Structure 1
Amino acid sequence: MASRTIAALAREGGVGVETVRYYQRRGLLETPDRPDSGGLGGGARRYDDEAVRRLRFIKAAQTAGFTLEQIGELLALDATEDRTRARELAHERLAALDARIAELQTARTSLERLARACGAGSAGPCPIIAAFQS
């Protein structure tokens, strides 16, 4: 099992050190104990392969659009193997994505129509600018 510093963990997870600390404060990542180094300030905390796995999971789940609260729930479900709730969360996320896609498609259609009207070359204010002013 590899042992790494917080900087190495952050680098492997593709995030910054402060992001790792934030996830620790949120309870998504454990904060390992600081070993007694016998000197001033103690030793550096060391992170194992499981910390890398969790950090990568968090980033992948964020990419899929899950909130940190939902990610925390998914991480807790991992220990219980509650597939029903995990599936419910996935379906909720899919519904939110579908709604957002529909909004974006509507916005695209409207902007496409405005761009065509603007290109028509008629006199008066640009239809794009006029649409956003009203």
Structure 2
Amino acid sequence: MSASNPPAKRNLTIYQGATFDDSAVWKAGETKATVQPVDLTGCTARMQIREKIDSPTPLLELTTENGRIILGGVTGEIAFNLDPVLTAALTWRSGVYDLEIVYPDGAVRRLFSGAVTVSREVTRAGATP
């Protein structure tokens, strides 16, 4: 993938009260025969979810620094993880996001963008009548 390629559209659903663990592998190559995982060694990642693109405050932030994004180095894997306590506390229902990869030299690549939906939880721990 060259830097001029637009980000892939990838919509996400977070299930309130459940662990959110999703992943993708970033691969690139000139032809199908040469496609390989992109080496993410030394990179960081950041992702913000906002109600609308121009909303001033993020609803949720995932980064490699806060442990909500884990990069797999030479495997090209990008993993997202939110614990069930955090997802149970989500009060918003939808938003938009993008995911950026930051290279050690400071270059930034927007890899994904899309909509995020929170599927509301019906069953809650400790809610027995």
TM-score tier after normalising by the smaller chain length: under 0.3
Larger RCO, structure (CA 8 Å, separation 6 or more) = 2
TM-score if structure 2 supplies the norm length? Answer: 0.24
Which has a greater percent of helix?
Answer: 1
